[in-house]
């Protein structure tokens, strides 16, 4: 395998619309979570994580009519990532450039709008581009079209691990020498009324914190009650390490390993064995022992079941070292971006390593005896010289994806 560098980062998120803005907000412990607004607020009991984004600032009217919100996020984040990487695509063999995108729900906003038009408004006509807006591969397709990339263009939908899978699969193609450039990541815009009601019916959403709604998601805390849905996108540019060095590209870090397992136990209930196996597979892929891991980005959704299982899985892999590894769970601030979560947290992990910090697990004020590891409570920890980090992504359906990340060169 060739060594693979991360040379570009792009972000649209509840904590800011660039990698630097995302990091600034997360390191300060700011929350992008708030109460639901608008006419449907009275019909839902939920908090959401949504940022400042206006598609009309990035696309003309004809193009905008063709793009669901999740695809808008993806295109903007991909543009940022390519600009950050400083890639001149005219000097690139575009047949050796690919796109690998994850999404859990695709164009759910457009589909929801179509159903509302048909069933609530009793219309016989819906938007002519509804199929194109709603299809899961729309984001990847549009990125390929916009940048004329003729290599593989693939979409992965494994629920909450989708974008971690996309990053890992793109990393393998570049590492094996099949591609010289890959745009990898994920996008999600799941905040339609129909989607929210479906999640509400599943009883996985957090109860609203009456004193502080922005603190409703409390990963690893004893009083945690569930997750908060968020929206956004994160994209990374991957290329061979020697190519990046030769052209003097910025190197934000590297992807060193990737583990993928399936619980095959239950459609929603997580498995200690499955999660631990994914972490071990990622370490084997990177050629590393567990002792090499300096920090962990936890999946940490804030649901009662997930956080206890993830704690047990980390203990199973790291043994006596587990209590001494700083672990961050950033969904407390940006919410759960479902299919885009793994990519957003991968970006945060890379930037945290660059700044030698461990990001905080916010709202962790009531420790859970069953979640007794070092979850970096409430305040960013300075001076964490992590050279190698795990980023965990676990999903409904049981697909577990774990990335091993390496720090940028000094």
| Dihedral of the alpha carbons of 286, 80, 99, 179, in degrees to the nearest 10 | -60
Partnered with residue 373 across adjacent β-strands are none
Q: Which of 160, 217, 346, 371 is catalytic?
A: 160
Taking the C-alpha atoms of residue 31 and residue 214, their distance in angstroms, rounded to an integer, is 6
CA 183 to CA 189: how far, in whole Å?
19
Distance CA 267, CA 281 (A): 22
Say if strands 97-102 and 153-156 run parallel, antiparallel, or are unpaired. parallel
How far apart CA 66 and CA 64 sit, in angstroms, is 5
**Any catalytic annotation for residue 371?**
no
Beta-carbon contacts of residue 252 (< 8 Å; ≥ 6 apart): 5, 6, 7, 8, 9, 350, 351, 354, 408
Cα separation, 152 vs 99, in Å, equals 6
Of 348, 334, 330, 355, residue with least CA distance to 403:
348
Active site residue 217: no
Q: CA 299 to CA 308: how far, in whole Å?
A: 11
- The reply to whether 299 belongs to the active site is yes
* Catalytic residue selected from 299, 334, 346, 371: 299
> Of residues 87, 252, 334, 336, which has the active-site annotation?
336
Residues marked active site are found at 160, 299, 336
């Amino acid at each position: 395998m060739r060594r693979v560098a991360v040379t570009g980062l792009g972000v649209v998120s509840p904590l800011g619309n660039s990698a630097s803005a995302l990091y600034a907000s997360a390191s300060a412990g700011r929350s992008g979570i708030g109460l639901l607004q608008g006419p449907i607020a009275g019909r839902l009991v939920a908090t959401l994580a949504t940022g400042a984004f206006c598609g009309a600032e990035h696309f003309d009217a004809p193009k905008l009519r063709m793009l669901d919100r999740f695809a808008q996020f993806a295109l903007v984040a991909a543009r940022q990532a390519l600009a950050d990487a400083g890639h001149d695509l005219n000097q690139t063999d575009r047949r050796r450039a690919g796109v690998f995108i994850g999404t859990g729900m695709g164009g759910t906003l457009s589909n929801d709008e179509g159903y509302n038009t048909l069933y609530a408004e009793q219309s016989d006509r819906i938007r002519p581009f509804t199929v194109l807006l709603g299809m899961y591969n729309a984001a990847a397709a549009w990125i390929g079209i916009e940048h004329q990339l003729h290599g593989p263009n693939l979409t992965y939908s494994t629920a909450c691990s989708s974008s971690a899978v996309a990053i890992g699969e793109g990393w393998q193609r570049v590492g094996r020498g099949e591609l010289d450039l890959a745009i990898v990541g994920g996008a999600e815009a799941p905040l339609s009324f129909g989607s929210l009601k479906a999640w509400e019916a599943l009883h996985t959403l957090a109860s609203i914190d009456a004193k502080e709604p922005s603190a409703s998601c409390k990963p690893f805390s004893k009083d945690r009650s569930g997750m908060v849905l968020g929206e956004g996108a994160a994209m990374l540019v991957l290329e061979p390490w020697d190519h990046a060095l030769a052209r003097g590209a910025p190197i934000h870090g590297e992807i060193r390993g990737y583990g993928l397992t399936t619980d095959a136990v239950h459609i929603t209930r997580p498995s200690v064995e499955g999660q631990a196996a994914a972490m071990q597979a990622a370490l084997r892929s990177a050629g590393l022992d567990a002792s090499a891991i300096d920090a962990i980005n936890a999946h940490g959704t804030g649901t009662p079941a997930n956080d206890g299982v993830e704690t047990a899985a980390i203990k199973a892999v790291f043994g006596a070292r587990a209590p001494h590894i700083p672990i961050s769970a950033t969904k407390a601030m940006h919410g759960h971006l479902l299919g885009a979560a793994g990519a957003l947290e991968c970006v945060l992990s890379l930037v945290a390593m660059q700044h030698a910090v461990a990001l905080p697990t916010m709202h962790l004020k009531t420790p859970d005896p069953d979640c007794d590891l070092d979850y970096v409570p409430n305040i960013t920890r300075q001076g964490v010289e992590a050279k190698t980090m795990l980023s965990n992504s676990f999903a409904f359906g049981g697909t577990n994806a774990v990335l091993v990340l390496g720090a940028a060169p000094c």
